[in-house]
Amino acid sequence: MPLQNTNALIDHLDESFATAPDQVASSAYIEMQRLIAEDEATAREWLYLQLAVDAVQDAGLREQVAAVRKQWEVQKDQAVTYEQHAATIPAGGRVRHLYRNMMRVAACAVLIAGGACIFKYVTLSSSSLYSEYYNAYELNTSRGAATQDAMERAYAGKNWTAVLSLFSTGKDRNNKTDFLSGIADLELKKFDDAIGHFEQVIASNSHSGGDYFEDEAEYYLAISWLAKNKVNEAMPILEKIKANKDHLYHDKVEKMSFTDLRLVQYKENK
Amino acid sequence: MKVAEKYTDAELISAISSGKDLNPAILFLYQHYSEATRSFIMSYGGNEQDADDVFQETVVAFIDSVKKGKYRQEASVKTFLVSVAKHVWFNELKKKERAGFREKQFESTRDQQEQDVSHQIGDLEQKQQLRDLLSQLGEPCQKLLLLFYYENLSMKEITAHLPYENEQVVRNKKYKCLQQLTGMIKANPVIAEQLNALIK
């Protein structure tokens, strides 16, 4: 089927999602419906497109259910821990005195632990995790200052504004200039701009099939989402890094507290 | 444990159909119905992980069935979920080729309700194949298609999430991504055969 016709079918598919059942359909819409009913090639293409969209919606739903499942598992684990703790408190008559003291100690422990949990719950946020896990990226300077370009020199001197200015005026943009500009944006708390730069690196690699600054961009993209209080965006990236032992930032991510991350996720999804 | 919102069956179906605030409905399903399927799965050779995975699959199939208007509400949500879980687990057992005694024993416990759900939840095997194909798409394409077809974001809203200059760039990229995915589906012989049978 010619590309233009396929695009027209895609537009028709999108229109069918946007059109309410009681809405009067446009003549173009009716014409396309007729074509689907009468032309076998169009009908076939239409089915394939619907299958593709079904696959996307199925994947989206699956991700959403998996996220709630994780939240539920965290809640369940917390409830089990509480029940196990309650079960360890002894009951009986002969050791009432000891029992009472143990109860007092247990109550204090529960209060202290509860207080600590409440404090942690209240103070924990994506941005607090960002502050905990963010470390500025150190540029490899093994080539020596003489061979550094202007952007590298500005970066090494922590002149973040100059880094961004060189990026916006520079003609030779590549993953490295995008990445360094992303870090400069992070340092200047311009998180949206930082995210744009890191995603550009990833998109560029996806397009070219390369991996130049890929691992660095992925890690700092996750960190930027945390800075933006968007833990739901950060989690899949961090989980992906954690699952890949060859990733440059695997060890760093493995040391992160995923319990804290999930707790923040729970708080933010509430 | 945080208690999920309380729903009657009708309220649950309505919340899922509207699709506006799905998370509380999903949490409700987990809190109220996951145990009902767990004991069944574990008594038929599954472990806790299997039970959790089957229930996740069950919830996805149930929500999908409700959203597509295939859920007929002939039985309670709980009964339906248990039937779907049985169906999912039976398919899983077949896949794992744990045939023989267990499966025969299991087969004898299948009731009409459970066999009936397969019409309401669609072809799980095909869904799995489609998922595999989607996962072969590049991440930017997957993300773009998810934002548009699952999150229902407009082209303009997508420009705020992905590094594309304007709406037209997003639109063109979406065309390409969807065509790439349909191309992969067309190249899958099993799915192509199923579709051919459907068209003829």
Please say whether the beta carbons of A172 and A180 come within 8 A: no
Q: What is the structure's pLDDT at A260?
A: 81
User: Which pLDDT value is given to residue B113?
Assistant: 56
Residue B11 has pLDDT above 50, yes or no: yes
Kindly state whether residues B147 and B101 are assigned to the same domain. Answer: no
A250 and A151 both lie in a single domain: yes
- Please report whether residue A63 resides in a domain: no
pLDDT at B99: 47
At A210 the three-state DSSP class reads coil
Mean pLDDT across the stretch B150-173?
Answer: 90
Q: Which chain B residues are Cβ-neighbours of A10 within 8 angstroms?
A: 174-175, 178-179
Q: Domain boundary at B105, B121, B137, which? A: B121
CATH number at residue A216: 1.25.40.10
Nearest-CA distance B200 → chain A (Å): 9
Per residue in A201-227, pLDDT (tens digit) is 998 888 888 888 899 999 999 999 988
Do residues B153 and B117 both lie within one domain? no
The string of pLDDT tens digits covering residues B92-134 is: 887 776 545 454 555 555 555 555 666 666 677 788 888 889 9
Chain A contacts in chain B segment 13-42 (CB below 8 A): 22-23, 26-27, 30-31, 34
Q: DSSP class of residue A88?
A: T
Instruction: Say if residue B156 is in the same domain as residue B63.
Output: no
User: Exposed, middle or buried, A88 (CB in 10 Å: 0-12/13-18/19+)?
Assistant: exposed
Look at residue A146 in the predicted model and tell me its pLDDT: 54
Q: Which range has highest mean pLDDT (A264-268, B163-167, B170-174)?
A: B170-174
Is the same domain home to A51 and A166?
Answer: no
Q: Are residues B95 and B149 in the same domain?
A: no
Residues of B in contact with A52 (CB under 8 A): 130, 178, 181-182, 185
Give yes or no: residues B21 and B82 share one domain: yes
| Residue A136, both tokens | 């500025």
Give the end of a domain, one of B121, B155, B174.
B121
Contact A54/B at CB under 8 A: yes
Minimum-distance CB partner of B198 among A47, A52, A53: A47
Helix, strand, coil abundance in chain B, percent, nearest 5: 75, 0, 25
pLDDT at B184: 93
The count of structural domains within chain A is 2
Mean pLDDT of all residues in A101-126: 65
Any B CB within 8 A of A196 CB: yes
Based on the domain organization, do B23 and B111 belong to the same domain?
yes
Flag whether pLDDT at A98 surpasses 60.
no
Based on the number of CB atoms within 10 Å of its own CB, is A115 exposed (0-12), middle (13-18) or buried (19 or more)? exposed
- Chosen domain end from B73, B94, B121: B121
Judging contacts by C-beta atoms under 8 Å, the chain A residues touching residue B131 are 55, 58-59, 62
At residue B2, does pLDDT exceed 70?
no
Q: Is residue B176 part of a domain?
A: yes
Interface predicted TM-score (ipTM):
0.86
CA distance A70 to A266: 9
Which range has highest mean pLDDT (A24-38, A143-157, B144-158)? Answer: B144-158
Same domain assignment for residues A137 and A41:
no
Same domain, A254 and A137: yes
Residues B44 and B69 in one domain: yes
| For range B130-145, the mean pLDDT | 91
Q: Is residue B4 part of a domain?
A: no
Contacts of A54 in chain B (CB under 8 A): 127, 130
In this complex, the residue of B56, B151, B178 whose CB is nearest that of residue A65 is B56
C-alpha B43/C-alpha A148 separation (Å) is 66
User: Is A84 or A40 the better-scoring residue by pLDDT?
Assistant: A40
Q: Which of B134, B151, B178 sits opposite A49 (nearest CB)?
A: B178
Least confident span in A81-95, B45-59, B136-150 = A81-95
Same domain, B16 and B85: yes
Specify if B2 maps to a domain.
no
Please report the pLDDT score of residue A119 as a whole number.
57
Question: Is the domain of B139 the same as that of B113?
Answer: no
Query: For the residues A23-33, what does the mean pLDDT come to?
Result: 78
Question: What whole-number distance in Å separates Cα of residue A53 and Cα of residue A59?
Answer: 10
Same domain, B60 and B136: no
SS3 A128: helix
Q: How far is B2 from chain A (nearest CA, A)?
A: 7
Residue B149 has pLDDT above 90, yes or no: yes
User: What is A163-183 written as a DSSP string?
Assistant: HHHHHHH-S---HHHHHHHHH
Domain count, chain B: 2
For A164-210, how does the pLDDT look when each residue is reduced to its tens digit (9 = 90+)? Answer: 999 988 877 888 999 999 999 999 989 999 999 999 999 888 888 88
Question: Among partner residues B2, B23, B64, which is closest to A58 by beta-carbon distance?
Answer: B64
CATH of the domain at B161: 1.10.10
**Worst-scoring range by mean pLDDT, A60-64, A241-245, B112-116?**
B112-116
One domain, residues A138 and A231: yes
Q: Is the pLDDT of residue A86 over 80?
A: no
What distance in Å separates residue A147's CA from the closest CA in chain B? 31
Question: Does one domain contain both B19 and B61?
Answer: yes
Look up the domain containing B31 and give its range.
9-121
Q: Read off the CATH number of the domain in which B76 is found.
A: 1.10.1740
Q: CB B185 to CB A6 under 8 A?
A: no
Q: Do B90 and B157 belong together in one domain? A: no
Question: Is the residue at B1 inside a domain?
Answer: no
B64: nearest Cα among B133, B136, B117? B117
Q: Which of A40, A56, A72 is the last residue of a domain?
A: A56
Within-domain flag for A234: yes
Residue B87 has a CB neighbour count (10 Å cut-off) of 24
Give A45's contacts in chain B (Cβ within 8 Å).
Answer: 182
Instruction: Tell me which residue has tokens 């209060």.
Output: A111
Residue A27 maps to a domain:
yes
CB < 8 Å to A61, chain B: 60, 63-64, 150
- Residue A70 resides in a domain: no
Identify the domain containing residue A236 by its residue range.
Answer: 130-259
**A64 occurs within a structural domain:** no
